Chain A
């Protein structure tokens, strides 16, 4: 049963009208097996300025139907007996909903763990039941402020360093150094080791080296050493004869042979076993290989480029990487900067990806809102350019007009700028909240390992376990 208040929410296809600006369409969804805890009645009383349209759904399936048929700005979901499960379900569901509505979760005495998980996922707010008017109104005002994007700038022109889909984009000093080094080494056939964090563009650099090098007319063959199971990697690299092992259904030409006359790019080389490293070393030194299960020696003439996001010298110290192979590969080393070290390259990369994906998805996007750009600048890009590329691709898919706006960006980004952390009016946090946040951050750093986290925090692991339970982490 639904209870429209002032007007029926807009149909899915409707474009917001001028008089709709500032008006929020809110869907309030009851908890499974429970109601909305008087929330709908309160909201109706509080919606006295004509700027809220409220509708309700009695359960999750009916809410999904309403999300599919109408466009909403906000979903207020009352979480039930399993608030964590309910929250995950809502985050997942709203990702697929038209118009990317934001989420406010309401729960009985939400734990700090729930609040932190919600914050990380970009939930607009987690409110305690019964919901207080001032808290809700403050959150709605924040949402309005976020929705009213006025300023937008045209996308800047981008001149990529290389042509084609493997363009290098950026004019930061860090990248100019990379270009200079590239120009110096591309012309030779020397082996190159490209180092840099995940997503910094190691393969793009390898392709640029190939395209600008003496073997450009040959093939560029890339092998991701970490992606391929260890037991298959040898045959993938060197090939195999038919029947060499179970599953060797035909003779297979390996990547070394495929790359003859061209470039072989070994990505994530640190993930290779020591036994295979020895075979690679032989192939690099002798310029010849043997297929698995074959006795014939095959000459291979390839330019080798290797890449890693690990510290190979540290791996050598730990006995996980062969020193002799390292020196064979690192004839020339190119280090790639992180996105954070590249300053305003972020804007150029954004413009480049927006144009690339707009073309792919048949969109016309010529500008980006100031707020969207602020959010992109404020994000900590753990996945560097690869993460930026993913975010922009999704944003372009969602975008409906010629401007890329904050609302097109994922919740995680939108959440970072204005979510739960803003709740205390004076910017002060309770001691317990500071402690919970710090514990959560350390646990994130240790990948959930309690022992390691306890050591960093300088407390006994039992104390940490107790605190985790206390905060619901």
Chain B
């Protein structure tokens, strides 16, 4: 006797309205969903997606106290931060008020609640603006800048970083100025403004070196490495990453080592050095294991490793790595990244000329719309879906998906990606 069959996630999610209050329940449901053991060796096993996993209502009921505990824990630290702000207010310690409010914002950011984080940062900024010491204002502006970047509004982000920089320079706040330069560089990089990003990162690096801030200097070198790689200057990218790695390794900064090795892997992959890239990614996973748990970072490394295997034609390894990435995304509550996992899985099936692989793109689209709510992600899925259809000789459908991707990139003003799609469409017409 094996008890009643589990409910499929696709059905379970269909019964849950799109309410923010239910987000923790949704996350719990997905995290405890398991693939049906019987399906693992069946012919549908290679096509298992989140929707086909099963969940036992009984288990969900048993695990609910854990979810409540996490929610109350989050609210507790949030409320505590607020009470601390009040106590600081009582002591007329306005800088303390700002620090407590910023802490509350960071707590929201940590759980992916960016809009709520922005609200906390906004209040902190209002308090900071009235202070004589401008450093809390600089810090608040940077926090707001980054949250706008996370919300996909780089122009707003840039405006706040610019204000932070102007203030920091006027106040001779070197750390604040370095941080603002880093933020401006990140914004320019996100907008594919290479020259601007290079200028800001370089300026930040000079300031960080002058202040002896090895950690920030390492981060800026890594970002310069990312930038150089994206511009195709692979030698310079290698030099920057090498220096960043030296700085982080001597400091024993595990998470930063994982990030820099992840980037090193991408550089090696671009140079066609498969073994070196794989070794860098695997070491990156090991450093990530040492650092405080960051499922997003681990997922990013595993996706890169899977893509490397995919491009090298090592399809078995790619599939195994993608299944691990899927587990990290589900277990680590970073479901927003699942569309990336399933898009790569679809590409893998495309490489095997397996038509049923379309189910991964369909699942990726559904999740991009329901969980990620990011148009850019949706466009990327459509682009990959179009290429998949094209590879299978289904040109009408391929064209339709590519046109949809072009339309979305157009609406987002993403010129580089739009051009990529346009080039594909031209190739198909030729």
Chain A residues proximal to chain B, CB less than 8 Å: 32, 59-61, 63-65, 68, 89, 92-93, 95-96, 198-199, 202-203, 224, 226-230, 232, 247, 249-252, 267-268, 271, 309, 382-384, 386-387, 393-394, 397, 445-449, 451-452, 455-456
Contacts and interface: CB of A to CB of B under 8 A. Distances in A.
B264 interface: no
A252 B317 CA distance: 34
A448 B34 contact: yes
B286 A224 contact: no
Contact of A227 (B44, B316, B320, B324): B44
Interface stretch (B107-115, B170-178, B396-404, B409-417): B396-404
A227 B316 CA distance: 19
Contacts of B42: 198-199, 226, 268, 309
B43 A456 contact: no
A208 to B, nearest CB: 16
A387 B41 contact: yes
14 contacts: A61-B254, A61-B287, A61-B290, A68-B282, A68-B283, A96-B317, A227-B359, A249-B404, A382-B41, A393-B316, A445-B2, A447-B2, A447-B6, A447-B37
A396 to B, nearest CB: 11
A251 B324 CA distance: 36
Interface string B49-64: 0011000101100000
Nearest to A382: B41
Contact of B3 (A32, A92, A451): A451
Given A61-B283, A226-B39, A445-B2, A250 B44 contact: no
A451 B2 CA distance: 9
Nearest to A98: B275
A359 B265 CA distance: 31
B362 interface: yes
Interface string B283-310: 1011101100000000000000000000
Nearest to A394: B316
Given A382-B41, A447-B2, A447-B37, A32 B290 contact: yes
A249 B286 contact: no
Nearest to A61: B286
Given A60-B289, A93-B282, A96-B282, A268 B44 contact: yes
B1 A455 contact: yes
A224 B44 contact: yes
User: Which among B43, B365, B397, B404 has the greatest number of chain A C-beta atoms within 10 A?
Assistant: B43
B47 interface: yes
A125 B410 CA distance: 58
B18 interface: no
A99 to B, nearest CB: 14
A377 B279 CA distance: 35
* Leading 5 A-B pairs by shortest Cβ distance: A383-B41, A452-B3, A227-B47, A226-B44, A249-B400
Nearest to B6: A447
Given A250-B396, A250-B397, A447-B34, A64 B283 contact: yes
B356 interface: yes
A225 to B, nearest CB: 8
B223 interface: no
User: Which among A63, A68, A394, A455 has the greatest number of chain B C-beta atoms within 10 A?
Assistant: A68
